[in-house]
Amino acid sequence: MPDPSAWLNVDQQDELLIVTINRPEKRNAINDALLLGLEAVFSAIPDGVKAAVLCAEGQHFSAGLDLSELQERDIVDGLHHSRMWHRVLDRIQFGTVPVVAVLKGACVGGGLEIASACHIRVAEQSTFYALPEGQRGIFVGGGASVRLPKLIGMSRMADMMFTGRVVSADEGVWMGLSHYVVLDGDGLTKGIELAKRIAKNAPMTNYALMHVLPRIADSSQSEGLLMESLMATIAQSSTEAKDRLRDFLEGRAKKVGE
Ligand code: 1HE
């Protein structure tokens, strides 16, 4: 298998890890080596890193699955391949640090699946979203059927697949595909700014948002409320929470909006 580091740049900037998909000549199409490279990076976040930014070289975030590899798979290989995507994207979603995705150009198929496993999505104005699997005669296999309905609702996802339509950056933010649209060019600056803010949170808060909130959302009301109480009690009893509350009460902490 080719060396995945050829298609991934990883740059630690203090508390942030900037991970860049670097295969622009193939519009950042994701082959197996690149996917496994992402798994390796997000499985070994260096000590001291508190948030990550996932961005891409070139004009496009990702054209999705490398279709040249798809042609060679039989049914069993196809099943393992889809499960490999699930494993890697779970590694991003349920890893050790929150991940901010910076989107531009094509964010389609598997590219949208990767973006939807990240915790915050910033879209440059050039971003466009699509699920061309329907047109290619296949089905999503990288977790989109689970993650996208949570972002935009099942019927909007079905519409994207039935019709193959392209969703613009502006429509995408309205639908819930991204949290932010950056009007003037540079999404990376915005992504880094957000990641720096996230890195300043108490680690227990970020843990709860990454690992507990999605489980609560998947639970029944009574289980969810119990999990919320347990998480709230653990978070409140941490030394960091006590210090932060004291800072506010004694006038040292920022007010909301400052
Ligand atoms: C690729 C891929 C790819 C480009 N796999 N090689 N994804 C798709 O169905 C999207 C397919 N791609 C496109 O529609 C277009 O490439 C774009 C709209 C993203 C960009 O267009 P453009 O004109 O800038 O680039 P291009 O000329 O189409 O592509 C440049 C090269 O990248 C070209 O290779 P070359 O050797 O001829 O230079 C393309 O073949 C190559 N390329 N996209 C392989 N996807 C876990 S399951 C997920 C299932 C899916 O993701 S299905 C959706 C797949």
Identify which of 7, 22, 27, 70 to mutate to test ligand 1's pocket (most ligand atoms within 8 A of the CB): 27
What pLDDT is stored for residue 238 in this prediction?
Answer: 87
Of the pLDDT bands very low, low, confident and very high (cuts 50, 70, 90), residue 1 is low
Which H, E and C letters describe 106-122, residue by residue? EEECHHHHHHHHCCEEE
Higher pLDDT, 258 or 47: 47
Q: Is residue 3 part of a domain?
A: no
Same domain, 117 and 212: no
**34-82 pLDDT tens trace:** 999 999 999 999 999 999 999 999 999 999 999 988 777 789 999 999 9
pLDDT score of 2 more than 70: no
Index of the ligand 1 atom closest to the CA of residue 106: 19
Q: Residue 21 C-alpha to ligand 1 middle, in angstroms?
A: 15
- SS3 category, 24: helix
What pLDDT is stored for residue 202 in this prediction?
Answer: 94
Q: Is residue 255 part of a domain?
A: no
* Mean pLDDT score of the chain: 95
The binding-site residues of ligand 1, defined as CB within 6 angstroms of any ligand atom, are 26-27, 29, 60, 63-68, 85, 106, 108-110, 113, 132-133, 136, 140-142
**Domain hosting residue 84, numbered range:** 8-200
The residues, ordered by sequence, that sit 6+ positions from 19 with a Cβ below 8 Å of its Cβ are: 8, 9, 10, 38, 41, 42, 52, 53, 54, 55
Same domain, 131 and 183: yes
Question: Per the structure block, which two tokens stand in for 252?
Answer: 């040292």
Same domain, 111 and 231: no
Q: Is residue 169 part of a domain?
A: yes
Q: Is residue 170 part of a domain?
A: yes
**212-256 pLDDT tens trace:** 999 999 999 999 999 999 999 999 988 888 888 888 888 888 888
What pLDDT is stored for residue 194 in this prediction?
Answer: 98
Same domain, 43 and 171: yes
Measured at the CA of 197, the angle between CA 120 and CA 19, to 5 degrees, comes to 55
Same domain, 56 and 167: yes
Question: Per the structure block, which two tokens stand in for 153?
Answer: 């609702």
Same domain, 27 and 106: yes
Active site amino acids = 113, 133
pLDDT score of 94 more than 90: yes
Same domain, 141 and 162: yes
Same domain, 196 and 220: no
Alpha-helical (H) ranges within the chain are 32-43, 67-70, 75-93, 110-117, 133-136, 144-152, 154-163, 169-175, 187-199, 203-207, 213-217, 221-236, 239-249
Same domain, 225 and 149: no
Same domain, 162 and 36: yes
Q: Is residue 239 part of a domain?
A: yes
Of the pLDDT bands very low, low, confident and very high (cuts 50, 70, 90), residue 98 is very high
**pTM score, whole prediction:** 0.96
Q: Residue 27 C-alpha to ligand 1 middle, in angstroms?
A: 6
Domain count, the chain: 2
Same domain, 224 and 162: no
